Amino acid sequence: MQGDKVALVTGSSSGIGFETSLMLARAGFNTYASMRNLEKSKNITEIAKKEKLPLQVVQLDVNNDGSVKDALVKILKADQRIDVLINNAGYGLFGSVEDTSIEEIKAQFETNFFGVVRVTQQVLPLMRRQNSGTIVNVSSVGGRIGLPALSAYHSTKFALEGLSESIAFELEPFGIRVVIIEPGVIRTNILNSSSSAKKALDPKSPYFSLSQKLNDNFKSMMESELSSPPEEVAKVILQAVTSENPQLRYSVGDDAANLIHARKNMPDKEFRKMIMKNFSK
């Protein structure tokens, strides 16, 4: 049990954030399950109440400076510390780069990348004063390899990987550890919380067929044994934050591990052939 340790999880209304918040609370962390829309908090609140978990829901929009500051003020007033930050909030954006507007790409970065920076910057002074803390950034296998028709999404995850590697060096002298989580296909409602670039939905787009095939393949994989439940990601996160010497990276799911291994060991040309064969057939 984790005693008085405090955890903050972003994007907790469903999926990975939902399961991670519950798992941390069940492990004894005083957990703040944050989400942009508190109307989506009923399910997690009812479970926490039924199980008498140390879990509270807090409003936090990673895209809004004021919202982030207000959430941290509330947490610090009650607990005076944050030991674990799980940067999980994000969404997917389908569409080729030609079909995706600058505004749509900026919005994708605002949540998936700058949202992480925004929350992390607010938490770091506190963790430095504590001389301890763990920051977990939920990336994706898509932060190590790129798929067609997801160019904006992959760009945000590649950026998140670079940010995480860099700040791991910066924060180590202050007793703060950084962990990157790289899930493969997870059985969540990610497709429901994802969107498509407006032009990508136009059948006249030269990339329409490719985008539709990729979307269909993701739906099939999520319904197959290839995908992993979000609880598996939560288990890996709990393992990382309770380890005395956590790894920098953890992949989740055989699909993620296999893709990362293939990318590392196959020539670029062969790897691209494999991706096109498996994801756009």
Measured distance CA(107)–CA(89) in Å, rounded: 13
Looking from the CA of 28 toward its CB, the CA atoms found within 13 Å total 7
- The residues annotated as belonging to the active site are 153
Q: Confirm if 182 and 139 have CB atoms less than 8 A apart.
A: yes
Hey, how many other C-beta atoms are within 10 angstroms of the C-beta on 169?
9
Q: Where are the beta strands (DSSP E) in 38-132?
A: 55-59, 84-87, 93-94
> What are the phi and psi torsion angles at 208 (to 5°)?
-60, -50
Looking at the DSSP assignment, which residues form a beta bridge with residue 89?
none
What does the DSSP 8-state code read for residue 28? T
